Amino acid sequence: MAQAYMAETGNGGSEREPSGSGLRRRLAELRRDRGIWRRGIATAVLAVVLALVMIFHAQLPNDVGNLGSLTETFLPWLGLLVPVLAACAAFRRSATALIACLLPAVVWLNLFGGLVFGKSGSGGDLVVATHNVDAANPDPRATAESVARSGADVLALTELKGSAVPSYEKALAGTYKYHAVEGTVGVWSRYPLTASGPVDIRMGWTRAMRTTVESPRGRIAVYVAHLPSVRVKLNAGFTANQRDNSAGALGAALAAEPLGKVVLLGDLNGTMNDRSLREVTSQMRSTQGAAGEGFGFSWPAAFPMARIDQIMVRGMKPEASWTLPRTASDHLPVAARVTVGT
């Protein structure tokens, strides 16, 4: 029986179809499959809709639960849907759907490809950092020491609890000779600070400030802000009205700033894509967008999903931007290196 079987198969059944002919056979089968263009229409439509959402995200309405801002906050994550749709197209053996999946892939790369590959440089003469330290932080001293090791020349802290301020002051005194605190925000600096004071962002209490850093390269206006949190409510969806009002007030303060060199540091509770921060982002340049390594997501610290802690500049050149090691806070610290110039 074995000999008969070997005789039928040739060489003991070891003869295999050449890989090239197998591929040609499969391609021929696909060419004969007339349904390859008709299947997967639903997947193709979803791919086109996904691309349109990314292209026209600024036109999504905010009237219902601030849907537009919610989409813009997590806009980079829409890219994860592309391989899912491509897998569905492959499973359905649909050429139409596979081709359609190229559209959102190209749009996503156009929007975020620069962040994936990084833009950081080696220049810069000033390092700045910001950290939402969390009012419930169980170890303020360790948090302060951690961010001080970043090498920042100017450090902004937000969500400072009044009773914890002395702990931060003591822990940072050896690194920073100068500091100013207004309400729940503060600035620590290696260089002298002048004209420090609160900035009214329509909160009812102080969560923003301005100071002048007398750096070796000239005077720099430094703003620190902690905009109101965005809430998701069952009866109202994604609500951000108070945040948006505060952003408008902050934008007005920045527009009135007389100094040419300006830095904005803090937790803005929104991404650079969020149209509700336009009054701020339209007049400032994001260090992460211009010189970041990766997406620089800063919140939540356990699994960062959005960049809501921002460093923005005006009249200076961003050179590099990065996140710092996790502390006891629910946010990651972020830092940037900029060229102040003369």
- Chain segment 61-92, per-residue pLDDT in tens: 877 767 888 899 899 999 999 999 999 999 99
Cα separations (Å) of 137 from 168, 186, 300, 329, 331?
A: 11, 16, 14, 6, 11
Would you identify the CATH topology of the domain 126-339? Deoxyribonuclease I; Chain A (3.60.10)
Over residues 38-52, the pLDDT tens digits come to 889 999 999 999 999
> Is 236 a residue whose pLDDT tops 60?
no
Decide which of 242 and 159 is more confident.
Answer: 159
Domain ranges of the chain: 33-117, 126-339
3-state DSSP call for residue 151? coil
Over residues 246-293, the pLDDT tens digits come to 999 999 999 999 999 999 999 999 999 988 899 999 999 999 999 988
Mean pLDDT value across the chain: 89
Residue in this structure with the two tokens 């069952």, named with its chain if needed? 234
pLDDT computed for residue 133 by the predictor: 98
- Section 102-130 average pLDDT: 90
- Section 161-189 average pLDDT: 98
Total Cβ atoms within 10 A of residue 247: 26
pLDDT computed for residue 15 by the predictor: 52
Q: Where are the beta strands (DSSP E) in the chain?
A: 126-132, 154-158, 178-182, 185-189, 193-198, 208-215, 218-226, 231-233, 237-239, 262-267, 285-286, 309-314, 317-323, 334-339
Instruction: Grade residue 300 by pLDDT with cuts at 50, 70 and 90.
Output: very high
pLDDT computed for residue 229 by the predictor: 82
Selection from 60-74, 110-124, 298-312 with the highest mean pLDDT: 298-312
